[in-house]
Structure formats: C-alpha cells, structure tokens
Structure 1
Amino acid sequence: MKSKHLIWIRRTSQAFFLCLFLFLLVESRLPLNIVVDYTQSMEESQEIRIEKPITFFFQIDPLVWLTSLISGHLWIKGFAWAMAVLAMTLLLGRVFCGFICPFGTIHHMISYFKSSLKEKQLFHANRKTASQKIKYAILVTVLFSSLFGLNIAGWMDPISFLFRSLALAVIPGLGNGLAEFFGLLAGSDIKILNLMSYGEMLVWPVFGFDFKSFQTGWIIGILFLVILFLNRVRPRFWCRTLCPLGALLGLFSGFSRLRLDKDLAKCTQCRKCVMTCQGAAEPIPGVDWQPAECLTCFNCFDTCPENALKFTFHRPGKERKLPDMGRRALLGGLAAGVSLPFFGSLDGNIHAVSHANLIRPPGSVTENEFLKRCQRCGLCMKACPTNAINPTFTEAGMAGFWTPTLLMTHGYCEHTCTLCGSVCPTQAIQEISTTQKIETPIRIGSAHFDRGRCLPWSGNTPCIVCEEHCPTSPKAIYFFEDWVEGPGGKRLKVKLPQVDLTRCTGCGICENKCPIRGKPAIRVISAGESRSTRNQIML
C-alpha cells in the first residue's frame, strides 16, 4: 500500500475515534427525554439508563483491564476488547497509539500545529532520550501498586486522564463561561444582543442547563493544560515520556510482526524521517529502530524522498527487540509500587471505617474493594444529574484521591436514580435497580441536625424545608411540637425536626435544600452506610 494511503487511513481513523470519544463524553449524562420531563420520569421510578456505549474506550483500554484484574481479581464484562487490542499490538505494534487513542490524537495535533521548534531543534527533540524510560517506571509503579491492593492506574491512564480532564474541568469551565456570556447578552439593552442570548439553547445539549462545577476541578484543568503545553517543547511529550499504557503496549510491540526496514545505501541523511517521527523511534538508517517507541504513524515512510524506509511483515522466527527500560527506572517503579499502598494506609483507618465526609455513591462496594477497582475516570461524576458526585480531595486520603464522593452542598442523590452504577466501567459501583435502591433500602449515610444552627431549634423560627423535601415514605424527618421562649419572653409553639435513622438513606436532599447557607443545619455523614458493617451508628 502506498504511503499516502496509509497516512490518510491513519488520519481518518484518528478523526473518527476522537469524534466518537467526544460524542460519548457528551452523551454520558441524564438522557435528554428525562431532562425534558424530569419530574414525571423520576416519579414513575423507571430505570434510568444511558443507551449509548459510553464505557467503550475504557473497555478497549488494556491498562484499565489489567490493573482491575490484578487488584480486584475480577473479570469484568466487556473487557475482551482490551485483549483484542493487545493481540493487535502483537501483530501491528502500537497502532492503538497512532490510530485510536483520542488523547494521542490531541497531542499529535498540538505538537505539529505551527510547531515552535525550528528544523535543528525538531531533529534533536525527536531523537530517543533517557526520559522515555520514565513511562516504564510509571507502568511498574501502577502494576505493583495494583498487586498490593491499590489501583492508581486512573491517575495516569490516558483514557481516564482525558475523560476526567474534559468532563470535570474543560466542559464545566466552558459551560460556566458561556453562562456568564449569555447572561450578559440577556441583560443588554441592545435588542440584537438580547436576541443573541437565545444561543444558549444551542449549547445546552453539550454543557447542560445546570453548568456543573467540581471539587479540585481547577487542579485537574491546570494539570491538563500543562501536559498539553509540554507538546510545544517536545512533540507528543505525554506519549513518549509519561504514558503507562504506551509503555505496556511498547512491551508487546517488541514482538510485533510489522517492522521497519531501512536501506542505508539509499539514505541521503536528509533527516526528514526523524523530524516527522511521532514517537522518537529512531527511523533514520544507520541507527537501531525502536519498535517499542514507534507509534505506527507511517510519517517516516511517507516523507522519505529516497524510499529508503519501508514497513514489512516479518516471520515469527525473527529476533524480537524489547525496550530498554533501564534498571534504575524499574527499581524506582518497583519501590514506588510497593510503597504507595503502604503510605496510602497511613492516612488513617480508611480501609475499615470511612471518614465521616466520605460518602460513596449508592451501590459502592466496601472501601477496601472500592480502592482496588475504581479508575478515578470521572464517568459517574459526569453522569450524575444533580452534580452531587465529585472527586475526593482529602476525604479518602492519598489512596483515594480523585475517587468519587457525594458533596451534598453541590447536589444530592436523587431518590430514584441509579445512573452511577450503570456507567461504572469496573464495577466499583455496582449496578442496582431503582426498586432495589428504594425497597432494600440502600443507605449511603445518615443525616443529623446541628441544633445550634437549625432555625426551629436555635432561632425559634418555624422551618419545615428538610421535611418537605425528604423523599422516603414514610418520611425520615418528622416533627414534635414544643413550647419555647421567643423574643421578648413570648411563648411560641414550634415544630422541632428529628431524624428517624431507620428510614434515612443519606440522600442529602435535606442538606442541599437547607436554607442555612455556608454550613447547613442538617448534614449527612457516612455512618450508617449499607456497604459497611463497621461504619455504623452505635444505638
């Protein structure tokens, strides 16, 4: 096949999978038919599910599959696709990186769009360096950490990294910016600008009406921008230096049947092959080619004016070339992989009894198992219709950083919603039915009153907001009437709220709707959650 054809096939594939990723990212939300008729849909207690295959990219990710298998000892449905990717790598090399990976495509575009590097700088930037061993150290760290019960692959896995960055930082940031912009247009006295404010209706299917915000979203966003900027210093910096999935595929590509043949006699040392190489794989004749670094972009094959380079299939008997991972990188990765699970347990006894503010989504497995399975991808957070599920900061310690928790000041757990469990790619959040959630019931915590802040208890002011919003039947919040002394010594009869812990599911709508701003007068803690037999209120 001609090189031009291969290049166009690659570009078409990259564009298709990037668009597919963005489409599935947008679709990982409450279905539009339910958004339009939200109240009725929820009241009917119907099973709310996203019909699009939004977990597809996680299912074809070998690193997600492997770490989930090692740490959770669980074969997860749908991950046979990841094995197919590994088989494809054994045949064609790192074709996933060059043709499929949406994060790789973004790095490719940024690296070569009006490159800031001059010809000589680009030549040196595209030569193999010792820094490319770092990704193997990261891979070893991730694998050994998983082996000892802490799955941190999601911190650096490219699919999880990209989804988390776009879903929790980029889209909310753009959404809030557009909300401000259209708000200014709507308040304008100029009629044409006022009419332009209706453009909000065109963007809400992507950004939503509620314009979500997430805890630590600014950290995620800054990290994402820094990673993208590094492409201007060294093309595809992430893919060459940091990506653990690329390192895993690099190990398999050492056995690839597809090889680069070089004809030194034809080479004129024009160096065009090096300057267009995506992976710093040393395609120039006279130097050993590095199959573990090659992203099968075929740029070298296409740009060589002398036809000195050609990709051909070799027989299995040919010598295999494994990557030079470096002894120090391997030992460092091994030490980090063994140490991180230990250091993660130093944040407190989080594996046995959860922190009071660590409220996991309904259907979550026990904390110890949760940390073995969760990929910190942000899919459950993106799908949550009320913006309640957020990435943790300090609530779960280092071991649980960026895993999902419910922040009731941001949202609440809708009584009939079970979307989070249906979208979780690794079953850290089990899929449950609406009937199971309500009738069991599944508790994620329990509510308690701060009587010093509650209006009826401390201010002698009538307030029944929490009881009005309580969704359980019978209600978990009830009143008893008592005579209290009001202003000027006047006797008042006030309804004082109480929580029935046998009925409370910890949904948090009472905390979310409490009229006391700042620190609500009723708050949900994790004690009483169904998933733990130890994290219970001692009655």
Structure 2
Amino acid sequence: MLKSIRVYSACFFFALLTLFFLDFTGTVHLWFGWMAEIQLVPAILAVNVAVIIGLVVLTLLFGRLYCSVICPLGIFQDGVSNISARRKGKKSRFRYSTAITWLRYFSLVVFIVALAAGISVVVSLLDPYAAYGRIASNLFAPIYRLGNNLLALAAERVDSYAFYSTDVWVKGWITFGVAGLTLIVVGILAWRHGRTYCNTICPAGTILGLLSRFSLFRVVFDEEKCTKCKACERVCKSSCIDPVALSIDHSRCVTCFNCIGKCKFDAMHYVPVMLKGKKEVEGESGNNPAGLSRRNILSLLGLMIFANTIKAQEQKVDGGLADILDKKIPERKTPIVPPGAVSAKNMKDHCTACQLCVSACPNNILRPSGKLATFMQPEMSYERGYCRPECVECSQVCPTGAIKPITTADKSALAIGTAVWIKDNCVVNTDNVQCDNCAHHCPTGAITMIACDPDDKNSLKIPVVDKENCIGCGACENLCPARPFSAIYVEGNVRHHLI
C-alpha cells in the first residue's frame, strides 16, 4: 500500500513538473505552479522560509520523501532504473554498498561555497531541479512541439483550429550540450546503479540525507521474522540495506518502500523510531563518520539560507509578423534580463538556470546565456520577436525569485533597456527610402521621427529615441527592416527602473 501511494504520487508530480517545461500555453502553471516553488534549491535561493521549513519538517518526520516523490530528477532516475530492470529481466539486481562519504560532502561543500560566493554556474549545475529542467526544455520540449505541430497540420486539413503551430528551434547549443551530457551521466548511473547520483553528487540529496538520519518514521527490521534472505537488499535502489547486519543507512534511503513490498516474511516495517543512547532500536550501528549531529545539520542548512539572505539584501500588439531568420544578434555592452528580474545582479544571484522561463516565453526572446558568469541563465534577444507589453509569463513561472511576479501594468512602465539608433544601418541612409517601423510599433511612443534636413520640407525622416520613455521592449529592433543588423537595438539597463 505504501509503495503504491508513493508511486502514484511520484507519477503525478513528475508528469506535471515535466509539463511545466513542455506546455507553451501557460495553462499547467496556472493550476500547479506551486510544484516548482516547493523544490529545495529554488526555495533556498528565493529565501522561501515557509517552504524550507516545510521540507525540513517533512524529512524529519518521514525521511527523504522529497527525493522519491517531489524531485523530478529523482523520479526520472527511478523510471530509467525500472526500464533497465525490465529490459534485463532482473527486477532484483542491487547489492549493499558503503556510502562514498567524501564525494557526498565534497559536492555539498562546493555547493555551499558557490551559493555564498554567488558562483551561479556551479549552483545551477548541481541543482537537481534545474538539471531536470534543462533536460526537459532542451531535449523533450522540441519533440513535444513537433508533435503539436503535426496535430496542428492535421487539424488544419479538416478546418479545425484546436491546435496551432509553434516554433521549434535550439535556443542555446551550449545549454543543449549540457542538458545532453547531464542526461547521459544521470541516465547511465540510474540504468546501472539506481540512485547513485542522488547519494553521491546531488547536494539536495546530501542535505536531506543528513536530516533523514533523525527522521521519526523509518524503515526498520523485525529481527525475529527476518530470515536474511536478502530480498530487500536486491530491490534497494539506494544500495543502503545491509541484511547481514540488519542495518539501514537512512541517510541514503529515499523511502521508496520497495523493500517492504518485496519482503515475504513481513520482517520490514515503516514505523516511528526513537533513539536510545548511542544505538537505534532497529539495530543500526549508530555510527556517524562525519560527526554530524542534528544540531550541526540544522546549523548547516541555516548557514545556506543565511548566506543567500545576505546576498538577497545586496541587491502581441502589432498583429504579428513572419519570423525573420536572417537577423544577427547585436553585441550588447549590457545584457537584457527579463522584466521583474530587478537587475542583472539579482538574476545572477538567484537563478538556477532551470530554463522554465525560457520554455514559457511565447515570444521566443529568452535564451540561455553562454557567458561564464551567467552560464545558462536567461538573456533576452529580439531577432525572433520582442517583449510584448501584455505578456508576463516569465515572471509568473520563476520559482526562485530571480524574476519577481509583475502585472501587465507594471511591465508597461518598467524600463529593462534603452533603444540605440545606428545611423549607418538605417535604410533611410543606406537605401534612401522612408521607413517609420520603429516609431510606428513603439508601445510607449518613445520614438519620434524628425527630418534629416529641417530646411527641406520633403526631407526623409529619421528616428530619435526619448530615453526617458523607452522601456527596452525590443519592438523597434525586431521590426527594423535593416539587415543583417538592425538599425536600432536595445542596450540592457544594469538595474530596471520605472519610467
């Protein structure tokens, strides 16, 4: 019964979390957006105290249920491991092994140091939620969208508009490669060894493993009924059950209940366990090689939250046009970060590069950064579209506070950048033809056309940008007919401000 409840709950979470990264309509997030906010690392970066306390309490009560039910990368590993077992015809294929303690704590220390120092690339690579997000948005989403486009084509043949086509393209080859490499590494480990990644590399798994040593409910042996048949050992994907010593390493146990379901002698139970001196009642040795007490563990988690808190204190209107694929991205001195990001620094300090905002953007203007300082974090570019005033999708889906929620009213008055006119690129000067695309499509009226020669009433007109009214939406840059570089482009504002 416990295993069935866990499996159904995990499938529910995994399906909806995956749809977050595939659904380009925003429908799923309206109802289930909270699932992204209860992920551990995003909650720490957002300093979401309620969620952090909730996960700590959940773990201290029931063990690592987070890893087996809530974390999408953990559930993904279970799926790969189960497929491997069926393919090999060996449903009982694991063996007990000792924990690789030095690697677990080394990864955790690296993660904490990176978090405190603001080295976002390390944090984003180690965050399991972000890792799965990159896999889903870069590898699964294109397949999902291709399927949607096929349905749209079929529906169009019968005069139905139940589906509509959407763009399918790789938004960042570097991020695509990282996602592919992550899939390969995690997939191979899960295929061969089950939850090895969770119990050796993942910092979230290590943090919760430290807490789960002291959980109230744990899987324990009934020594009188146990025959030491090792059936529990062979189905333990965390390789944490030693049937000879009748002990379980609860820091690695992900509370999957496989062992309970497999035991034919009713010798394993999930019950409240209390500590008695130095030895636990279920027969676990009680050794703590890392010398970590409950107080030390909570202090460690508190340090992570405190470090991030300190860092936090430092801190479609035209009816649509066809895609223009031959535009080139201008060299911006300051990258443009999404409305609601507050500043480039806030984005750098809080973003885990999970790619959820990139997947949710309906205008195709968000893509992963290739710069080391902001590696895989979202940046804006306008060669495929522009930031429409009525769209606030990215601010609604971010679980870490890197992009804060805003309304359409907020967005219309929020300057994320400033348009810059390049005289030598403008068709008025290069082709001697009149063009007012930039002024015509500017939603705030920040661009005015003035005569090249004030003394000539028939003079062609050129644009002048009112920097006080420009919000940096990129409509001018996207709709400019100049090739390959637009005659007007947007420079990002280091810190966003109201106009």
- Residue 12 of structure 1 is matched in structure 2 by 8
Change (3 A) 1:280 1:464: same
Structure 2 segments unaligned to the other structure (5+ residues) = 281-285, 293-299, 308-313, 316-330
| Contact 1:240/1:280, CA 8 A, preserved across alignment | no
The one-letter amino acid paired with 1:427 is G
Structure 1 Cα separation of the partners of residues 88 and 290 of structure 2: 28
Partner residue, 1:497: 463
CA distance in structure 2 between the partners assigned to 1:291 and 1:200 by the alignment: 55
2:477 to 511, 517, 539: 511
Q: CA deviation at 1:156?
A: 2.5
> Cα gap change, 1:408/1:425 in structure 2, threshold over 3 Å: closer, same or farther?
same
Equivalent residues of 1:466, 1:514 under 8 A apart: yes
Provide the C-alpha distance between the structure 2 equivalents of 1:11 and 1:91, rounded to a whole number of angstroms. Answer: 19
Q: Distance in 2 between matches of 1:426 and 1:211?
A: 27
The match for 2:370 is 393
Corresponding position of 1:406? 380
Query: In 1, distance between residues paired with 2:473 and 2:490?
Result: 8
Report the Cα offset of residue 507 of structure 1.
1.0
Gaps of 5+ in 1: 33-49, 70-75, 187-193, 328-333, 342-350, 484-491, 533-539
Q: How many residues align structurally? A: 454
* 1:228 aligned residue: 187
Contact 2:195 2:238 in 1 (8 A): yes
Q: How does 1:93-242 map to 2 (within 5 A)?
A: 93-115=63-85, 122-123=93-94, 126-129=95-98, 131=100, 133-151=102-120, 152-176=122-146, 179=149, 204=164, 209-211=166-168, 213-216=170-173, 217-226=175-184, 227-242=186-201
- 2: CA distance, partners of 1:326 / 1:274: 26
RMSD: 3.8
Cα distance, 1:268 vs structure 2 = 5.1
- Say whether 1:65 aligns with 2:43: yes
What corresponds to 1:190 in structure 2? none
Please report the TM-score for the alignment, with normalisation by the length of structure 1: 0.73
Query: How many Å separate the matches in 2 of 1:247 and 1:454?
Result: 57
Alpha-carbon deviations, 1:323-345, whole Å to 9, x = none? 65699xxxxxx9xx99xx9xxxx
Query: Is residue 262–residue 285 contact of structure 1 (8 Å, CA) maintained in 2?
Result: no
Residues in 2 aligned to 1:12 and 1:322: alpha-carbon distance in whole angstroms: 34
Deviation at residue 82 of structure 1 after TM alignment: 3.2
Q: CA deviation at 1:355?
A: 6.4
| Structural mapping, 1:416-495, within 5 Å | 416-438=390-412, 441-473=413-445, 475-482=446-453, 493-495=459-461
C-alpha change, 1:322 and 1:245, in structure 2 (3 Å) is farther
Q: CA deviation at 1:250?
A: 0.1
Match of 2:325 in 1: none
Q: In 2 relative to 1, CA 154–218 (structure 1 residues): closer, same or farther, beyond 3 Å?
A: closer
2:31 to 43, 52, 76: 52
Tell me whether 427-436 or 253-262 shows the greater mean CA deviation. Answer: 427-436
State the identity %.
28
SS in 1 for 2:241: coil
Residues 113-146 of structure 1: per-residue CA shift (max 9 Å, x gap): 24366769933xx432554653432222222222
Structure 2 vs 1, CA of residues 30 and 522 (structure 1 numbering), >3 Å: closer, same or farther?
Answer: farther
Residue 63 of structure 1, CA deviation: 3.0
Does the 8 Å CA contact 1:292/1:323 hold for their aligned counterparts? no
Task: Provide, for residues 225-256 of structure 1, a one-character-per-residue CA deviation record: whole Å limited to 9, x for no partner.
Answer: 31234322222343233222111110100111
Q: Distance in 2 between matches of 1:102 and 1:96?
A: 10
CA distance in 2, matches of 1:444, 1:497: 20
- Residue from 25, 34, 52 that aligns with 1:82: 52
**CA pair 95-529 structure 1, distance change in 2 beyond 3 A:** closer
* Superposed counterparts of 1:220-369, under 5 Å: 220-226=178-184, 227-262=186-221, 269-286=228-245, 288-317=247-276, 319=278, 321=286, 324=289, 356-369=333-346
Rate the CA distance shift 1:480–1:127 in 2: closer, same or farther, 3 A.
Answer: farther
1:219 counterpart letter in structure 2: G
Q: For residues 23-69 of structure 1, what are the alpha-carbon distances to aligned partners after superposition, in whole Å with 9 as ceiling and x for unaligned?
A: 5555674569xxxxxxxxxxxxxxxxx64341x22332233333443
* Cross-structure match for 1:37: none
TM-score (norm 2): 0.78
Contact 2:24 2:362 in 1 (8 A): no
